[in-house]
């Protein structure tokens, strides 16, 4: 019982294994209800994920004059605006021994990543309608791939942050330090990614059935920013009083942003806040992916 096509497919390990059936078997039938995530399949399609991200990165700044500089300009301009309006006029910069621009910028990095990922993730399925109706691949790759390009922007912005920190250190302005807590930075980036992917996935699946969510998306992201400690901090004279911390930690971006920022300022990380946000983030991820998988089989029919 061997396959006559085996010689033409030497790179597929199943063929050379000599097992009872050398060819990959696929069963197609109606599946109802909740579906588990098929990690094996996702892994098999990892190259497609790479190409989808690669495409997004390639086309992101095509036919723009400034190109990838936009990845820097966006958060830097927001930082300037925030520093002027919230810092100077809003008085939020007072009482902080750390330069306010850095406080804002270190929060804007995870936030900008989150906002871009969620906006693009939410629209991703609708924008990929032509793919969904013509070819099969695990649909989760679509919202997953939208995280890629913003992640590249985040990396670029981290370079800008490093330059800013260096500048403040060199000039000796403010109480800038190089904190050993910086090694924890990837943890908070991870929480941000998980949250962004979870929320983006949920919104993408909702948008395909109810186009209303295209409009919800915009102001949801705006409101969400004010619910997250981007322009303000936790604790201190101008920050959120400690009694509210556990409540606002229910917003997964609270823990991500606070943790990210404190890695840079070297302040103590409020692990309870981070823990609650981390759990909340996992919950968003779970709900997003579960809902997505549940309605996935109808995508091609209703798109």
Partner 1 sequence: MSQPAITVNNVSKRFLIGAADEQATTFYDALSSLLLSPLKRFRRLSQKASSAEEFWALKDVSFEVSEGEVIGIIGHNGAGKSTLLKILSRITEPTDGRIEIHGRVASLLEVGTGFHPELTGRENIYLNGSILGMTRAEIDRNFDAIVEFSGMERFLDTPFKRYSSGMGVRLAFAVAAHLDPEILIIDEVLAVGDAQFQRKCLGKMSEVAGSGRTVLFVSHNMSAVQNLCQRTVLLDHGRVIADGPSTEVVDHYLHALNEQSSSGAELSSVSGVSVKVDIRGLQGDLCKPNEPVEFVVDVTTEEPISEGHLAIGIDDHHGIRLTTLNSYLQSTEAFQFEHRARFSVQWDRVNLTPGTYWLSISLVNSLNRVAHWERGASFVVSEGDFFGTGRLPDPNHQGNFMIPVKWTVTTDESITGAKEPSP
Query: Interface with partner 1 by CB under 8 A: which residues?
Result: 1, 3-5, 8-9, 11-12, 21, 23-31, 47-48, 50-51, 54-55, 58-59, 62-63, 130-137, 206, 210-213, 216, 297, 300-302
Q: Between 3 and 238, whose beta carbon lies closer to partner 1?
A: 3
Q: How far is the CB of 31 from partner 1 (least distance, A)?
A: 7
Token pair, residue 264, equals 């840079």
Q: How far is the CB of 239 from partner 1 (least distance, A)?
A: 36
The pair phi, psi for residue 139, each rounded to 5°, is: -65, -25
Q: Between 25 and 183, whose beta carbon lies closer to partner 1?
A: 25
Contact 200, 209 (CB under 8 A): no
Q: Between 59 and 190, whose beta carbon lies closer to partner 1?
A: 59
Q: Between 261 and 293, whose beta carbon lies closer to partner 1?
A: 293
Q: How far is the CB of 51 from partner 1 (least distance, A)?
A: 4
Q: How far is the CB of 215 from partner 1 (least distance, A)?
A: 10
Q: How far is the CB of 55 from partner 1 (least distance, A)?
A: 6
CA distances from 160 to 108, 157, 171, 228 (A): 12, 5, 16, 22
Distance CA 67, CA 69 (A): 5
The DSSP secondary structure of 111-139, one letter per residue, reads: HHHHHHHHHHHHHHHHHTHHHHTT--S-T
Q: Between 215 and 271, whose beta carbon lies closer to partner 1?
A: 215
Q: How far is the CB of 136 from partner 1 (least distance, A)?
A: 4
Contact 110, 253 (CB under 8 A): yes
Environment class of residue 235 by beta-carbon count within 10 Å: exposed (0-12), middle (13-18) or buried (19+)? middle
Token pair, residue 20, equals 């009872």
């Amino acid at each position: 019982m061997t396959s006559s096509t085996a010689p033409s497919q030497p790179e597929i390990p199943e063929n050379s294994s000599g097992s009872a059936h050398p060819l990959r078997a696929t069963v197609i039938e109606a599946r109802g209800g909740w579906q588990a995530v098929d990690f094996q399949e996702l892994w098999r399609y990892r190259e497609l994920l790479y190409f989808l991200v690669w495409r997004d990165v390639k086309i992101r700044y095509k036919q723009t004059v400034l190109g990838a500089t936009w990845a820097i300009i966006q958060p830097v301009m927001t930082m300037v605006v925030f520093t002027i309006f919230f810092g100077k006029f809003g008085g939020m910069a007072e009482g902080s021994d750390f330069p306010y621009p850095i406080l804002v910028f270190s929060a804007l990095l995870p936030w900008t990543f989150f906002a871009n990922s969620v906006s693009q993730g939410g629209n991703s399925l609708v924008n990929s309608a032509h793919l969904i109706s013509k070819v099969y691949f695990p649909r989760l790759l679509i919202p997953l791939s939208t995280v890629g390009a913003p992640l590249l922007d985040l990396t670029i912005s981290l370079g800008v942050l490093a330059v800013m920190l260096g500048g403040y250190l060199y000039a000796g302005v403010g109480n800038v330090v190089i904190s050993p807590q910086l090694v924890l930075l990837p943890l908070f980036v991870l929480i941000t990614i998980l949250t962004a992917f979870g929320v983006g996935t949920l919104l993408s699946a909702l948008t395909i059935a109810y186009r209303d969510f295209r409009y919800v998306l915009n102001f949801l992201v705006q409101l969400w920013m004010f619910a997250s400690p981007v322009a303000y901090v936790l604790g201190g004279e101008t920050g959120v009083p400690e009694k509210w911390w556990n409540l606002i930690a229910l917003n997964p971006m609270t823990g991500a942003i606070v943790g990210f920022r404190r890695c840079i300022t070297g302040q103590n990380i409020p692990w309870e806040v981070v823990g609650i946000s981390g759990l909340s983030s996992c919950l968003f991820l779970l709900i997003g992916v579960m809902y997505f998988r549940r309605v996935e089989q109808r995508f091609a029919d209703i798109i």
